[in-house]
Amino acid sequence: MVKKIFANIYVYFILFLMYLPILVLIAFSFSTNSTIAIGEAYNPGFDLYINLFSDTQVAREIWTAVGNTLIIAVISAMVSVVLGTLGAIGTFYCKRKAQKSIEVVTQIPVVNAEIVIALSLTVMFVFLGTYVFHAKLFSFWTLLIGHVVLSLPFVYLSVKPKLMQMDPSLYEAALDLGAKPSQGLRKIIIPQIMPGIFSGFLLSITLSLDDYIVTEFTRGPGLLSGDAAIETLSTYIQTSLKKHAVPAELRPLTLIIFLTVLAIVIGITLYRTYKSKTRKVAQ
């Protein structure tokens, strides 16, 4: 009984330490203080929210970074899901030796340091731009390739367990009944591995949203930044830290992001609970 109490206290203490910085940012998002400092008087107000949605230079820079971040995350996640899902299906139906070789190659980016991936991509783009295309390649496309390389293995690892749980006789039965391989893929395999595909999509978006190293090494001009280098939230915060303090308007943005993610998580949980109850009733 005592061990259980201490275990619960330990778990809740760790959770408290994890969420404490977020709670501090949320609390000071309703403050007019320009900085967060111990001993400084707390002045409540909604000025930061008004500034975030006003037509100021800082607000425009923040929303440009948010727009770039979301566009890159969604596009890279879609590309990663398509390539990762097809790669997982193809590997699943390969011979055992080829399957093992592909799985080893796929797992290298997962266990490898992110700085190694970023540096290798940078060297490749510089080499191709210097000796093949004779132009600077760094742009939205190099950034997209970097994010796809980063997230694609995680999609593969999300889809693979669902393929192993799948009943292969259903696909074979569909082919025996006259279905084309493309029809069997679309109507039999994809619906059965859809939870893995969805998990891989969410994981890809998460990896892209908070990535800094690959983004910093592979970005170039484009998207909402125009002729300037693409700024995402991670690079914008890092650039702000080099020049001056982080803009206070990022505090209310933190609360908006936190509530959005919380709403998505609650929505997915409720949907899965509803689906499980529906299946139980149907059985």
Tens of pLDDT, residues 26-69? 888 888 877 777 667 778 888 889 999 998 898 999 999 999 99
- The verdict on 83 and 29 lying in the same domain is no
Q: Please give the tally of structural domains in the chain.
A: 2
- The verdict on 50 and 141 lying in the same domain is no
Domain that holds residue 32: 1-54
CATH code for the domain in which residue 119 is found:
1.10.3720.10
CA distance 281 to 242: 58
- The verdict on 25 and 78 lying in the same domain is no
Instruction: Note whether residue 98 is domain-resident.
Output: yes
Instruction: Note whether residue 46 is domain-resident.
Output: yes
Residue-level pLDDT at 283: 63
The answer on pLDDT for 224 being more than 80 is: yes
Over residues 150-194, the pLDDT tens digits come to 999 999 999 998 888 887 788 888 888 888 888 888 888 888 899
- The verdict on 216 and 79 lying in the same domain is yes
Over residues 85-105, the pLDDT tens digits come to 999 988 888 888 888 888 888
Instruction: Note whether residue 163 is domain-resident.
Output: yes
- The verdict on 116 and 206 lying in the same domain is yes
Instruction: Note whether residue 267 is domain-resident.
Output: no
